[in-house]
């Protein structure tokens, strides 16, 4: 066996006796990473920056198994739950979690609650309806007063004509 500098497999994780990565392995890895062009087919090359990070890798890091279970994408789940139908399926688990959250929300008396978005929309719709009814009532009253005024003025004219 040699001094450990040039023999054996050369991986970035290779370490010498002092538990420090070997210099030749580090230099070789840097040389391999500095290559910019990759080829798909013969004669065709694709230029790619050495520090390019694939979007799928970022998705994996941001929403993969490293994040809390509630924030993970279902596509990236690595647990043992089955994807098929049945009691142990992910769909059943999500439905059960939804029911539990709804039950906790209903039975929680310590939380100060306001109106939900749907309730606010319904309240606004009722307010608009009430305003429309009030406007219709005013318009109807004005029309009735106008009709009554014209009827009274005709009656007055007729009585004046008879009195002459």
- Helix, strand or coil, per DSSP, at residue 78: coil
- How is the chain split into domains, by residue range? 1-50, 53-103, 116-164
Tell me the C-alpha distance between 71 and 163, whole Å: 91
Judged on CB neighbours under 10 Å (0-12, 13-18, 19+), 25 is buried
Length of the chain: 164
φ, ψ at 47 (rounded to 5°):
-80, 130
Sign of CA dihedral 60, 66, 67, 73: positive
Global pTM value: 0.30
Residue pointed to by tokens 């009532």: 137
Give the pLDDT of the chain (164 residues) as one tens digit per residue: 444 454 544 444 444 555 555 566 566 655 555 554 555 566 666 677 777 777 888 888 888 777 887 787 777 776 666 666 667 777 788 888 899 888 887 777 776 677 888 899 999 999 999 999 999 999 999 999 999 999 999 999 999 999 88
Contacts of 85 (CB under 8 A, 6+ apart): 91
Tell me the per-residue pLDDT of 94-110, one tens digit each, with 9 for 90 and over. Answer: 888 899 888 887 777 77
pLDDT at 157: 93
Tell me the C-alpha distance between 44 and 7, whole Å: 35
Query: What does the DSSP 8-state code read for residue 152?
Result: H
The answer to whether 48 and 37 are in contact (CB under 8 A) is yes
Could you tell me the CA-to-CA distances from 71 to 2, 75, 96, 155 in Å, in that order? 50, 12, 17, 80
pLDDT at 34: 55
């Amino acid at each position: 066996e040699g001094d450990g500098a040039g023999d054996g497999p050369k991986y970035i994780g290779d370490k010498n006796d002092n538990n420090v990565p070997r210099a030749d392995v580090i230099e070789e890895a840097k040389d391999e990473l500095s290559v910019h062009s990759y080829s798909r087919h013969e004669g065709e090359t694709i230029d790619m920056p050495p520090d390019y990070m694939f979007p799928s890798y970022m998705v994996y890091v941001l929403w993969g198994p490293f994040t809390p279970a509630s924030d993970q994408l279902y596509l990236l789940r690595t647990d043992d739950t089955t994807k098929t139908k049945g009691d142990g399926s992910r769909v059943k688990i999500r439905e059960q979690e939804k029911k539990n959250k709804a039950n906790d929300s209903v039975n929680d008396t310590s939380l100060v609650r306001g109106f939900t978005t749907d309730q606010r929309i319904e309240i606004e719709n009722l307010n608009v309806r009430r305003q429309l009814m009030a406007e219709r009532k005013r318009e109807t009253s004005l029309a009735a007063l106008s009709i009554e005024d014209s009827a009274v003025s005709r009656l007055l004219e007729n009585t004046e004509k008879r009195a002459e």
